[in-house]
Structure 1
Amino acid sequence: MLQILLFILTLILPNLLCYSTRAQSFLAIFSDSVPSFPSQKFPWKESNFQDGGDLCLGAQGTFNTLEFWQERGVCAQGVVELVHGRLFMPSEQELGIAYSYVANYVERYKDHVVFWINPDAKFHDGSVVRPEDIVFSFNFLTRNSSLFRSYFSGIESVKPLSVPVIKFGKKVQGVVFYLKKDAPQEAGFTISELIVLPKSVYQKGIPRIPVGCGPYTISGHQTGEFIRFEKIPQWWGKNYPCGQDVYRFSSVKYIYFKEEDSMFEAFKKRDIDCFFERSAKRWMNSYGFQAIDQNRSVRQELLSKDPVPITGLIFNTRKPIFQDIRVRWALSLLLDFDTLNEKFFYKKYHRICSFFQNTYCMAKGMASLEVKNILKQVKASQEAWTQPAEYFTQLPGTWQQRSKAALSFLKEAGWKLYNGKLFHDVLGAFQVKVCVPKAMRDEWLRFFQARAALVGVELNIVSLDQAAYQAAKSIFDYDIIWGMMGISSGFPGQELDLIYSSRSASKAGSYNAMGISDPNVDVLIQRVKKARHQKELRISAEALDRYLLTGCYGIFGWYSPYVWHVFWKDRIVYPKVLPWSPSRGWIYAGKERKIGNGL
C-alpha cells in the first residue's frame, strides 16, 4: 500500500508544487532582496490629478519601425511602454525588484517559475490574454531577436498549465518557465520582463499597427517625424496597481528632432511640454527667456539616482594599432578632463570611473580581500588590487606630466617621433578615425584632438548621421567611436555576455564595441552570473569591474549627477515625489490637480 501511495505522489507532486501557496505579487532576483513596497503603495503615485488632456514630448533622432523586436530598425519612442504589457513591471526605485502587471502573481522555485495571469488582462482587440499567448511571445521573440534570445538564455522551455484552477478566489490560468541547470540566478527574474504579444495576431504576420495589452494604442505616425498614442478608456489595468494613478493623459505624442538645439527651440515655442537638458553650456546660458522669468515655465535641477550610462571614446581592439595596451593607455593619458570640465562644461560634470557607475556593484577605493583573491585567480594585473579603482580614470599629474608619460608608452610600443608626427615600422603613421554622431557637440573633442597632435597623434574626427553611425557601429568600421562602453546595472548578469564576452567580439551588430576577447573576462562574467545572493554578486561584479578597468578599453566620459528639467506649468503637473528616473515622471503626472488639492 505504501509503495502505491509513493508512486501516486511521484505523479502528482510536480502539479502540487505548481499550485503551492507561496504566490506573491512581487519578484526579486535574490531571496535576500526585500521589496520596499510589497503592497504597491508607491510614493510617486498621487490620486489628486485630473485625467485627460494631451501631452507632447520630444525625442531625438529618428525611427523606422513600430515593432520593438526588429533588430534592423529603430523603434519609435513609447511603443514598449504604452502599447505593450509585461508579465511583471520593474520597480521604479528598487533594482532587482518587479511587481505584478499582466501576471498578478508569481511562484518561484529552484528550477522553474510560475506566473498566474490576471484574468482581466486583455489585448487591444478584446481577446483575453491566455497562457498560449505567453508561450508564443517567448518563442516568437527568442526566434526573431538575438537580443531576446540572449536575454532569456537561462530558460529551458515554457509550457502552459494544462487547466485553469481556482486560486485567490478566481479561476486563473498560468504558465511555467523551466530554467536550465546552469541558469544564472537572475534568469527567473528577467523572464518576468517578457513582453506579451497576441498569438492570434502575430502568427499571421506583422500587423500594420502593433497590438498589445498596454494602456494606449497608436493613433497616428509618420516615420521619423512623430508618433501619437491614444488612451484606451476602458483599459483592463486601470483598477489594478499597475494602472492606478498612472497614464492620465488622453493622448501622448512624440515629435522627433534631428538635433537637441531644435528640440529646445520647440520647447520655447510650446510645441512640446517638457524638455530634459543634456548640455551644460545651454543649461547655464540659454534659460533667460521670458517664460522662465515670469514663472510660467519651471526650471529644475534634480539629483539623479539612476545608474549612469557608461559612455566614452571606445578603442576598437580589433584594429592592430589598439591591440597594444600601451597605445591605449597613452591616449587615455592625453585626455585632460579637469580642463575640459572647466573650459566647456562649467564644472557641471563628474568623471565616470566604473563600468557599474552609481550602482551597488561599483568598484571603489581599494579592493577587499575577497575581490583580491578572485583577481589573483584570473592572473589579473597587480594594479587591479594594489591601486584604488579611481586610479585608472582619475589619472595623477598635470597634463604636461601625463603627455610625457604617454609619449614614453608610445616609444616603448615602437612608435617614433619625426617632425612632430608618430610613425611605426609596421603600422605606419599614427592616424586614427574617430567616429561621432553628428548631433553631438564636439568642441571638447576638437580640443582633445589639438592636444593629442602635440605629441604626434593624429585624430581624424568623422561626424556621421544616425544611419551612418549605426552602420559603422554594426560592422565595427572605426578605430575609435564615441558611444556606450557598457550598461551600468545594479544587478549585472546575462547582458554582460552581449557586451564583454569573447563570443560577442566577432559578431556583427553585437554590443561589444571594444572588441574584448579575453578568457579571463569570460570567467569573471560567469562568476557574476552564478552569484546566488547579493554579497556574492557585488564581490564578483567588483572583480570584473577592476579587471576591465586595467584593460583600458576606452576613455571614460562624464555625467551630470543632476537631471536638468524644464516644463510648462499649464501643460503638466508632476507628483511631489518623483521616481529615481525623473524622465519617467510624466507617467505619474497629470494635466492639473483636482480643485481643492493645492497647486
Structure 2
Amino acid sequence: MRNVLIAAILVFGAAALTAQVTVSHAIALHGEPKYGPDFTHFDYVNPDAPKGGTLRYHSIGTFDSFNRYAQRGDTPAGSETIYDSLMVSSDDEIDSMYPLIAEKIEYPADYSYVIFTINPAARFQDGRPIRAKDVVFTVQKFLEEGVEFIQTYIPGTTGKVIDELTVRFDIPDGDREKIMYLASFPILPPQYWENRDFSEPTTDVPLGSGAYTISDYNMGQYVVYKRIEDYWALDLPVNRGRLNFDFIRYDYYRDENVALEAFKAGEYDFYLESIAKNWATLHSGPNYDQGYIIKEEVPHEIPANMQAFVFNTRRPFFSDRRVRQALNLALDFQWMNTNLFYGQYTRTRSYFQNTEYEAKGIPSAEELEILEPIRDKIPEEVFTEEYNPPVTDGSGNIRPQIREALKILKEAGWEIREVAAPEKSLEDQEGDSSKEKETEEPGFLGKIWRGIKSFFSAIFSWILGLFGGDSAGGVRRLVNVETGEPMEFELINYSPSTERVIIPLQQNLERMGITLNIRTIDPTQYLNRLRDRDFDMISQGFAANAIPGSGLLLRWHSDYIDSTYNQAGVEDDAVDYLLEGIVDNQNDLDALLYWGRALDRVLTWNHYVIPQWHLSKFRISYWNKFSRPETRPKYALGIDTWWIDTEKAATLPDRFQQE
C-alpha cells in the first residue's frame, strides 16, 4: 500500500509540475495572445497584397558603419531589416510575440528558463540552415561584446543546445519580460561574425538572417535594401501581407528643411512630420493641390513617450530638486502650443501617459501602503496633490511663474543680483573715456548723490526681480549665495530645426536671470557626449512603457548610474525601492498597477525633467502611388503592410512614377 501511495504522489506530482510549464506558439507579457496557433495572418494586413517596386525614405545625418550593434559609429536607417528574430510582435497588441525563426516556446511559471524550438526551414541569407547552436552563439556574442544595455539587462544568462533544433536559456532572476527580450534577439550568422569583433564598426556588408540585404550604397549618402528572392519566411503567418517592397532606399540629408523640399520635388516617397509648424505651413503646393501628394493625419493608440528637457542631476546645481522645480516654471506650454504648434499638442504629465499606470488624483489606499515606508525620502506633494506641469494663461506673460520660481530658488540658495555688464569693445571704451574722467573724482555732494542713486537702483532691481523685468544698469543674474557663481548651463541638440522650441525656454530663463546656452552639434558628437555624460541638459524621449517592467531599471535604478540609459543621473533609494517592487510583482497584475502608479508619482514630483508634449496621431505626406489594408494597426503606422498600386502610380506625371 505504501508503494502505491508513493507511486501516486510521484504521478500526480509530475502532472502538477508539468501543468506549471507553458508550451505555446506565442507569448504575451500579460494575459493571453490575441492570435491562436492556427492563425494565418495578422488582422491589419492584406494577405494578398501585391509585391514589387521600391519604397524610398529619407534620413538625417550620415552613416559610416553597417554594424548596428557596435559601441561606436553611425549605422544606416533600416539596417534592422537585415536580421530576423526568434519571435516577432504584432502591431495590434501591446505585448504579444509570435513565431518567426522559432516555431515554439516553452517556459516555467517562475520564468527561470526558456526553451525555443527552431523552425527546420529557417535559413540565413546564404542558404545555410539556422540551428540551435547559432542562437546560442548570438546570445553569447551579445553578452560578451554587445552594447551595454544587453550586458546589464540579462547578466548571467546561459544558453545550451538540447538538440539541433532546440535551445535552452537559463535566466537568473528571470521574468516574462526577459524571456520576450531573448525572443526578440536578432539571430547572427556565425560564419560571418565568428572572427569579427561585434563591438566594432564595419564597412563590410554583413550577412544576415532577415528579409532584406544591402544591395547598393554610397557611404553616408544613401543605402538600398533588397528583399531576398528566396526568403524562406515570406509566407509565414507573421509575414503574410507584409514585406511587400522589392527594394527599400534611404537617402541622407544634413538638414530636415532641405529634406522636406526634396520630398515635395519627388526625390522620395514618404514623409513623417514631427514639427507642427511645418505640418501647418509647409506641406502644401502644386503637387498637393493636384492630388499627387496625399497629406493625412492617422490616429493611433500608442502610449505617449515622455519627451522632455532632461536635467543631468550629476551637475551640482541640478542635484537640488528645488532648482529643477523652479526651472519647470520657465516652460510656457500654453503660449508655445498656440503660437508655435498651432494647437496640435497635449502637454505630457506622466511617464505612463495614456495607459492605466498613469497616476491621477491622490494616491489610493493600495498606493499609500507602498509609499508609506519611503515617506521621509520622497516629496510631500506625492501624498497630497495630483502632479500636473505648470499652467500659464497663454499670453506670454509669466510674471506669476517667475515670482514663484525666484521664491523657490531663494530657498535653494540662489538670488537675483545685478552684476557687471559684459565688457565693452575697445571702441566703446574709448568713446566713454571722457565721461569716466569727468566723474572720476566726485566731490562731497557727488558722493551723496551717487549713494542715493545706488540705493534706489538696488530697490528698483529688487522690484524688477519680483516681476521679471530688466534693470536699467548692469545685468540681472541669478547667482549662488555662497559661491557668487551665476546659474549658466548648456543644452546640447543635434537638430537645427528644433532650436525654435528651445528658444522660448531660453528666453524665459533669461527673465529669471539664468543663462541657457543652446549648442547644436552633429549627431555623432551628440551621441559621443551622451556616452561620456558630458552635458547639462538634453531634449530626449523616454520610451513609453505600456506596462512597467524590469527594463525601467536601466533608466532609473542606482545600480545603473553609469549606464548611458540613466541620462538624468538618478541615484535615489526611494526610486530603487519602487523599481524593485515593480520587478517583484511582474506576475501580479493588480499589485503591478499600484507599484507603477506609485513610481509615476515619485518620478514626476522629483522633477527630473521638464515635460514637453505629445501627439496621438501620425502626420504623414506621401506620393499617391500606394494602397494599404482597410484595417490599420493600433500601435504602429504599418508602412510595411502598404504596397505599390500600379494604377495610382500610372496617374502621376512620368517623372514621379515608380521606377
Given the two structures, how large is their TM-score scaled by the length of structure 1?
0.89
1:183 corresponds to which letter in structure 2?
A: G
1:410 aligns with 2:409: yes
Aligned match of 2:169 in 166, 171, 177? 177
Alignment of 1:45-194 (within 5 A): 45-80=45-80, 82-110=81-109, 111-145=112-146, 146-153=148-155, 156-162=157-163, 173-180=165-172, 182-194=173-185
The CA deviation at 1:581 is 4.5
Q: Are the structure 2 counterparts of residues 85 and 242 from structure 1 closer, same or farther at C-alpha, using a change threshold of 3 Å?
A: same
RMSD: 2.8
> CA contact under 8 A between 2:346 and 2:614: conserved in structure 1?
yes
2:645 corresponds to which letter in structure 1?
A: E
* Whole-angstrom distance in 1 between the partners of 2:346 and 2:153: 31
Q: Are the structure 2 counterparts of residues 506 and 191 from structure 1 closer, same or farther at C-alpha, using a change threshold of 3 Å?
A: closer
> CA contact under 8 A between 2:73 and 2:524: conserved in structure 1?
no
- The alignment partner of 2:358 has SS state of coil
* Whole-angstrom distance in 1 between the partners of 2:512 and 2:520: 24
The CA deviation at 1:21 is 9.5
The CA deviation at 1:2 is 6.0
Alignment of 1:186-265 (within 5 A): 186-205=177-196, 208-265=204-261
> CA contact under 8 A between 1:49 and 1:593: conserved in structure 2?
no
> CA contact under 8 A between 2:332 and 2:391: conserved in structure 1?
no
> CA contact under 8 A between 1:150 and 1:494: conserved in structure 2?
no
1:402 corresponds to which letter in structure 2?
A: Q
2:26 corresponds to which letter in structure 1?
A: F
* Whole-angstrom distance in 1 between the partners of 2:310 and 2:484: 20
> CA contact under 8 A between 1:432 and 1:458: conserved in structure 2?
yes
* Whole-angstrom distance in 2 between the partners of 1:432 and 1:592: 52
Q: Are the structure 2 counterparts of residues 21 and 147 from structure 1 closer, same or farther at C-alpha, using a change threshold of 3 Å?
A: closer
Aligned match of 1:493 in 541, 549, 565? 549
* Whole-angstrom distance in 2 between the partners of 1:127 and 1:580: 36
The CA deviation at 1:502 is 1.2
Q: Are the structure 2 counterparts of residues 371 and 160 from structure 1 closer, same or farther at C-alpha, using a change threshold of 3 Å?
A: same
The CA deviation at 1:297 is 1.4
* Whole-angstrom distance in 1 between the partners of 2:131 and 2:54: 33
Given the two structures, how large is their TM-score scaled by the length of structure 2?
0.82
Q: Are the structure 2 counterparts of residues 59 and 538 from structure 1 closer, same or farther at C-alpha, using a change threshold of 3 Å?
A: farther
The CA deviation at 1:246 is 1.0
Alignment of 1:29-48 (within 5 A): 29-30=29-30, 33-38=31-36, 39=39, 41-48=41-48
> CA contact under 8 A between 2:91 and 2:636: conserved in structure 1?
no
Alignment-derived partner of residue 578 in structure 2: 524
| 1:63-120: CA deviation from partner (whole Å, max 9, x where unpaired) | 222122112123222121x211111102212122111111011122133221111110
Alignment-derived partner of residue 514 in structure 2: 457
* Whole-angstrom distance in 2 between the partners of 1:323 and 1:451: 21
* Whole-angstrom distance in 2 between the partners of 1:396 and 1:144: 53
Q: List structure 1 runs of 4+ shifted beyond 4 angstroms.
A: 392-398
Alignment-derived partner of residue 400 in structure 1: 399
The CA deviation at 1:368 is 2.0
> CA contact under 8 A between 2:90 and 2:98: conserved in structure 1?
yes
1:466 corresponds to which letter in structure 2?
A: P
- The alignment partner of 2:512 has SS state of coil
- The alignment partner of 1:46 has SS state of coil
Between the two proteins, the alignment pairs up a number of residues equal to 572
Aligned match of 2:641 in 574, 583, 588? 588
- The alignment partner of 1:359 has SS state of coil
The CA deviation at 1:17 is 6.0
Alignment-derived partner of residue 567 in structure 1: 622
* Whole-angstrom distance in 1 between the partners of 2:382 and 2:21: 47
- The alignment partner of 2:529 has SS state of helix
* Whole-angstrom distance in 1 between the partners of 2:568 and 2:211: 39
* Whole-angstrom distance in 1 between the partners of 2:611 and 2:137: 41
Alignment-derived partner of residue 545 in structure 1: 600
* Whole-angstrom distance in 2 between the partners of 1:356 and 1:367: 16
Aligned match of 1:422 in 478, 483, 502? 478
* Whole-angstrom distance in 2 between the partners of 1:238 and 1:438: 38
Bigger CA drift: 586-595 or 221-230? 586-595
> CA contact under 8 A between 2:392 and 2:398: conserved in structure 1?
no
Alignment of 1:255-334 (within 5 A): 255-334=251-330
* Whole-angstrom distance in 2 between the partners of 1:480 and 1:489: 23
> CA contact under 8 A between 2:41 and 2:47: conserved in structure 1?
no
Query: Percent of aligned pairs with the same residue?
Result: 26
* Whole-angstrom distance in 1 between the partners of 2:224 and 2:169: 35
- The alignment partner of 1:545 has SS state of helix
1:471 aligns with 2:471: no
* Whole-angstrom distance in 2 between the partners of 1:449 and 1:156: 46
- The alignment partner of 1:23 has SS state of strand
* Whole-angstrom distance in 1 between the partners of 2:546 and 2:275: 26
* Whole-angstrom distance in 1 between the partners of 2:361 and 2:251: 44
Aligned match of 1:436 in 485, 493, 507? 493
The CA deviation at 1:407 is 0.6
The CA deviation at 1:504 is 2.4
* Whole-angstrom distance in 2 between the partners of 1:88 and 1:202: 21
For structure 1, the residue ranges without an aligned partner over 5 or more in a row are 165-172
* Whole-angstrom distance in 2 between the partners of 1:102 and 1:544: 36
- The alignment partner of 1:237 has SS state of coil
Q: Are the structure 2 counterparts of residues 451 and 392 from structure 1 closer, same or farther at C-alpha, using a change threshold of 3 Å?
A: closer
Q: Are the structure 2 counterparts of residues 237 and 327 from structure 1 closer, same or farther at C-alpha, using a change threshold of 3 Å?
A: same
* Whole-angstrom distance in 1 between the partners of 2:294 and 2:647: 20
> CA contact under 8 A between 1:29 and 1:188: conserved in structure 2?
no
For structure 2, the residue ranges without an aligned partner over 5 or more in a row are 419-475, 649-659
* Whole-angstrom distance in 2 between the partners of 1:401 and 1:295: 49
2:614 corresponds to which letter in structure 1?
A: Y
Bigger CA drift: 540-549 or 352-361? 352-361
